[in-house]
Amino acid sequence: MKTKRLSIRKFTEEDWQDLFDYLSKEEVVEFEPYDVLSVEECKKEAIRRSQDDSFWAVCIAETNKLIGNIYLASQEFDTWELGDVFNPEFQGKGYATEAALALIEHAFKEKHAHRIFARCNPLNVSSWQLLERLGLRREGHLRQNIWFKKDGRGKPIWVDTFEYAILASEY
């Protein structure tokens, strides 16, 4: 899949180093369901993502440099879940917006999605601002509905999520 500036493709096993460039940064994984990843973990993650049709590698078209990933996964009732993680060195340039718009169009036109939704932590302001720029509407604020990490005593750290969505009829 191509956009004006990006190439959006399936992951390959060779993408591990570019994954490490951003998944090894604390600020990148702060709101993700995993901690920073090591080199070995990124090698395994590249293999896993290369075998998972839900993950898309987002690359600069001119250089093929992997700068982030988009997640688009089929759920029940013709609904698709959207997510993204980008290398902070490439944030603020509109790449996430450009890539997400391409995947939204793909989901509605090629996959015949009825609804696309995304969830994010309310503290992740850049994430919910992106979702609003994409035309998704905030459908709810779910209180302490999920946990990804545990505290020092092994207890879940419950967090809130915003849920955003857009319907095919609104696209």
Under the banding of pLDDT at 50, 70 and 90, the label for residue 33 is confident
SS3 14: helix
Look up residue 152 and give its two tokens: 């020092």
Report d(CA 171, CA 155) in Å as an integer: 41
Q: What are the domain boundaries of the chain?
A: 6-170
pLDDT in tens, 125-141: 999 999 999 999 999 99
C-beta separation of 10 from 53 below 8 A: yes
Q: Which fold has domain 6-170?
A: Aminopeptidase (3.40.630)
- Average pLDDT value for the chain: 97
- pTM check: above 0.85: yes
Report d(CA 67, CA 90) in Å as an integer: 7
